[in-house]
Amino acid sequence: MKKFVEEFKAFISRGSVLDMAIGVIVGGAFGAITGSLVSDVITPLLAVLFNSPNTDALNITLRAGSEGVDPIVLGLGTFIGTIINFLVIALVLFSVIKAINKARELAEKAKKKEEEEAAAEEEPKPTTEELLGAILDELKKKD
């Protein structure tokens, strides 16, 4: 049991687990933001198209409610709102990942350019043949 607890502590203290926890928290907050965008901005705009205060006009009542019996409603409006919410989240995540990849690509290009400039600034080193030729010339001068 002690070994299990030690392994669990090592697992939890890894940076990737902490990063994942932060990601879950930020993702929850992001979900609230996109949920608000869908329910408070996009859904009312769609409701205008259907001449209704919300997308409930798209719901289909399969059985009307009566005293003591709940109605059975096919919630197409709710489903459409969920799909829109998903699409907004997917679009934003796609944009963020695309921006991160572009930034990484630009950073790699800048680094490669710096390395090329540094290599160009260095004096070209003589080849083996040039060194041997210089040694031969020195030996000839001493004779």
- Over residues 20-37, the pLDDT tens digits come to 778 888 888 888 887 788
Residues present in the chain in total? 143
Q: Which pLDDT does position 143 carry in this prediction?
A: 65
Q: Looking at residues 76-94, what average pLDDT do you find?
A: 81
Q: Provide the token pair at 55.
A: 């997308």
Scanning the chain, the segments in alpha helix (DSSP H) are: 2-13, 15-37, 43-49, 76-121, 128-142
pTM score, whole prediction: 0.54
User: How far apart are the C-alpha atoms of 127 and 5, rounded to whole Å?
Assistant: 61
Residue 43: exposure state from Cβ atoms within 10 A (0-12, 13-18, ≥19): buried
Q: Looking at residues 59-75, what average pLDDT do you find?
A: 86
44 conformational bin, left if phi > 0, alpha if psi -120 to 50, beta if neither: alpha
Examine the pLDDT at 81 and tell me if it is beyond 90: no
